Amino acid sequence: MTIKKNEADPRVIRTRRLLQDAFTSLLQEKDFESITVRDITERATVNRATFYAHFADKFEILESKLTESFMAIINRRISGHEILNEETIQSIFLAVCDFHENLSAMCKRSYKPLGPVFEIQIKEKIQAILLSFLDKDKVFSSPNAQLINTASIMLSWGMYGAAYVWNKEGRLLPAESFVKQTMPLVMNGAKELLG
């Protein structure tokens, strides 16, 4: 179990970054399965106790790296959006495509086995982002609350799955073209969210 440290402390931030960077560089060279905590600590030039003070295992460091990467991409894409509309949904969809493209670049040797590993967490984050644009008081007091929740799940899973397959099949179209081409299908599924 990781020891909870003051995450605002610059030393903690620096050490976590050092470990994540070491891990990311190892993903360029090795399959995830063959990376050990020892590999990470040697690359980061820290001891095992330092690693375990920040992360429980290599799965936790992977999850933190993927979550951080996804949220940075999402925040960049939806910056300035204030309401859920077609443009916002398109930006979220493009962010999911960007995430898959970055993941396959970061994990050159491990993308296929890793793509689905954190699928549920990413889908849940997409759903939370979609719902964050809606007025919570109106949505959850509405008689259609369950339908709105289901629509957000379907939309998040659909965007994730489409982007995953687009990337896995070699990104035959640029992300912008792919998203533009599939937006009519996405928007059909988004009708309930947009009211």
Helix/strand/coil (H, E, C) string of 1-29?
A: CCCCCCCCCHHHHHHHHHHHHHHHHHHHH
Cite the DSSP H helix spans in 55-133. Answer: 58-78, 86-106, 111-114, 119-132
**What is the average pLDDT across 48-53?**
96
In this predicted structure, what is the pLDDT of residue 1?
42
**What is the average pLDDT across 12-34?**
90
Please state the pTM of the whole predicted model.
Answer: 0.81
In this predicted structure, what is the pLDDT of residue 110?
59
| pLDDT of 87 higher than 70 | yes
| pLDDT of 2 higher than 50 | no
Q: Which residues contact 103 (CB under 8 A, 6 or more apart)?
A: 66, 69, 111, 114, 115, 167
In this predicted structure, what is the pLDDT of residue 28?
84
